[in-house]
Amino acid sequence: MAALLEVRRVTKRFGGLTALSRVELELEEGRIASIIGPNGAGKTTLFNILTGIYPPEAGTVSFRGRSVLGLTPDQITALGVCRTFQNIRLFANMTAVENILVGMHSRVPLGLWHVLSRDPKFHREESRLWDRAAELLDVVGLRGKANELARNLPYGDQRRLEVARALASAPTLLLLDEPTAGMTQGEARGLMALLRRLIAEHGLTILLIEHNMRVVMEVSDRVTVLDYGEKIAEGHPTEVQKNPRVVEAYLGRKKWGQAPGPEHA
């Protein structure tokens, strides 16, 4: 089976700093893969390149066999790649349901004329959007908070709303940047159960940046380890766990199974 996402020799520099150096990544459909690594390893930079926020200096990124380099973030989202952000970036002064509705933008088949004339198609589509938004709120367990402003939601709810907003664009590939950061172990487990369900029900593929090792080990089919912008290991979680380079670079400083320290909050 051809890989859904293929990252080949991607290099990114910020001035003198090499954030990513010839990174390779391959992801098959229907899987959950994780990217781990110490702070500053280039994980989020990789996400930003995948979603078109900035271009790499070298290398290729292809999604479903098609290069996505040079596309704008909204075009990439329309292709079926959507993400969440490490530091939550909800539309703070919009309600939860409106946040999700914005996420559907690339799937709205309406033009200016439909909006101005309010023809039957507009009403049909609009009510379909609202129904779908309600469904998504149900999926992440925020139904009762549909009309709350995003900024008034508790932290954990904001994280889940971000996931729902990303799901709203009907992605094939979902990129989650530390989705459980700041969550309790119980909340994190709940979110992971949800992700597994989404994969089973919707054929979603997920790429995860995560510091919560318990989560990573439980859900991932594959783990990629980055350190100083280089891929130092890849494979099944149990293999990676034993890799001496990984232990040295990253895991040596921390025992397995411990909850992340306050620096990730």
Partner 1 sequence: MSARAFPATLIQRPVPAAITVMAVIALSSYSVAHFPRSIVAFMLFQASILLLYFSGVTPWLKAILAVLTLGLLMPILGTINGFYLEVAIQVGIFVALALGLNIVVGLAGLLDLGYVAFYAVGAYTWAIFGSPQANRFISETTAQFPLPPEWFFVFLLLGVLTGAMTGILLGIPVLRLRGDYLAIVTLGFGEVIRVLANNLDKPINLTNGPKGITPIQRPPLFFRPVLNLMGIEASPVTLYPLYFYFLVLFIVGVVILVNRRLENSHIGRAWEAIREDEVAAQAMGVPLVRMKLLAFACGASFAGVMGIVFSAKQVFINPESFTFLESIGVLSMVILGGMGSIPGAILGASVVTILNLQVLKGLSLWLNELRNAGVTILGYNLADLPSQFEPAKYERMIFGIILVLMVILRPQGIIPSRRRTRELREK
**Contacts with partner 1, residue ranges (CB under 8 A):** 51, 53, 72-75, 77-78, 82-83, 85, 89-95, 97-98, 101-108, 110, 112, 115-116, 118, 122, 126, 129-130, 133-134, 137, 146-147, 149, 165-166, 168-169
CB of 103: closest distance to partner 1 in angstroms? 5
Name the minimum Å distance from CB 255 to partner 1: 35
Using the minimum distance from each CB to partner 1, give the nearer residue, 122 or 228. 122
Give whichever of 71 and 251 is closer to partner 1, judged by the CB atom. Answer: 71
Q: Measured from the CB of residue 167, what is the shortest distance to partner 1 in angstroms?
A: 11
**Residue 57 or residue 131: which is nearer to partner 1 going by CB?**
131
Minimum CB distance to partner 1 smaller for 23 or for 82: 82
Q: Give me the least distance between CB of 221 and partner 1, in Å please.
A: 25
Q: Which is nearer to partner 1, 2 or 115 (CB)?
A: 115
CB 147 to partner 1: min, Å:
5
Would you list the DSSP string of the chain? Answer: ---SEEEEEEEEEETTEEEEEEEEEEE-TT-EEEEE-STTSSHHHHHHHHTTSS--SEEEEEETTEE-TT--HHHHHHHTEEE--SS----TTSBHHHHHHHHTGGG----HHHHHHT-HHHHHHHHHHHHHHHHHHHHTT-GGGTTSBGGGS-HHHHHHHHHHHHHHT--SEEEEESTTTT--HHHHHHHHHHHHHHHHHH--EEEEE---HHHHHHH-SEEEEEETTEEEEEE-HHHHHH-HHHHHHTGGGS-TTPPP-GGG-
